[in-house]
Amino acid sequence: MELPIYLDYNATTPTDPRVVEAMLPYFTEIYGNAASRNHSFGWNAEKAVSSARDMLGSLIGTSGKEIVFTSGATESNNIAILGVAEFHRDKGRHIISSPIEHKAVIDPYHYLEQQGYDVTFLDVNQHGCISLEQLEQAIRPDTILVSLMGGNNEIGTVNPLEEIGRITRKHGVLFHTDATQAYGKIPLDVERMNIDLLSMSAHKMYGPKGIGALYVRRKKPRVRLSPIVFGGGHERGMRSGTLNVTGIVGFGKAAELCAEEMASEAERLIGLRQRLYEKLTVELDYVFLNGHPTDRLPNNLNLSFGYVEGESLIMGIGDIAVSSGSACTSASLEPSYVLRSLGVGDDLAHSSIRFGFGRFTTVEEIDYTAEQVSSAVKRLREMSPLYEMVLEGIDLSTVQWASH
């Protein structure tokens, strides 16, 4: 076992060596522009792009014709949300989402609110689950889009996409899902789930960074979007710009590997997740699981350790890479907005750690992590007067704190 140990697979994944191998010829040998239709260099590049499209589509039960390439899931989310809002603005300006979406979904909604759109953020329960009844009641005649993520990047909770899709289809409203964390990890089927738009990213599933895609339904219904990037009309006019052929080839190979290994990998990751959880809860008290106990991504474990500060704990386990809060916003020391939405108090939100497991995580690494985290938590709690008071049976909520 080598140190440091990487347990932040929800933030990004290492590129699989098999993916790198597939990409290499496209840097130096097959380097044509996929939009160059006059010579074999362009044709070969286009052929590789087309093959990757088909692979990405097959993983969600559709054809490559419905895949639009982007620079990543942030751009995919922006194209889906802003594109639908702009194209359908005469039909309606009401959108439904949830408060625990990724910032790449939340921020476009805040922008749209400034443009006069009305966004309803559904409530979530303590596990991060929406109410399907509340969703259906929130739909209005002017609702144009429902956007709810596949799996949450912080707490791992998976949404009931099939049930959501049944409701949106019944009411004739478009359904977008940010599947960045779910794509390649859990089975997705856009037909069965009635998904109209789906965002995905290569670097969350052992592909390269800087390449993503958006599934856009072509029929029943045909989804129409206004572009937010203008240029040569690439990607069915939805996303202009020279295609990142090398990245696309890598994305396609990553999807192919996920298709082959998803079921066995999920089973293995759930085993590792359970092993770490059990080892920690045997050694420590006041450990709280954030997110749904079972309806969650196979590779995510988010725990709060009572009477311990998350940043101190991360420093205490310096040779293990984990995150507190969301990786994309971890520069701020505010408690996670996702955990706050679940009703988790600031003290526990501040003590949360996200463990993300992946293809290259070993049992030895899990066991080492359990030992290191347990001893760090015990060490920090020894310095905590609050933990001492709790052990003595004092109810902290009844304590009158004196201010000087």
Which residues, in sequence order, are CB contacts of 346 under 8 Å at separation 6+? 335, 340
Tokens 């439904």 correspond to 96
Strands 287-290 and 300-305 come out as antiparallel
Q: Vertex 271, ends 269 and 277: CA angle to 5°? A: 105
Nearest to 76 by CA among 179, 167, 172, 7: 179
Taking the C-alpha atoms of residue 74 and residue 203, their distance in angstroms, rounded to an integer, is 12
Which secondary structure element, helix H or strand E, spans residue 214, and what is its range? strand 212-216
Q: Is 129 a catalytic residue?
A: no
Instruction: Kindly state the tokens that stand for 402.
Output: 């004196």
Maximum pairwise Cα distance, the chain: 80
Nearest to 31 by CA among 15, 21, 46, 52: 46
Taking the C-alpha atoms of residue 146 and residue 311, their distance in angstroms, rounded to an integer, is 35
Out of 20, 229, 262, 328, pick the active-site residue: 328
Cβ contact 97:148 at 8 Å = yes
Residues classed as catalytic: 328
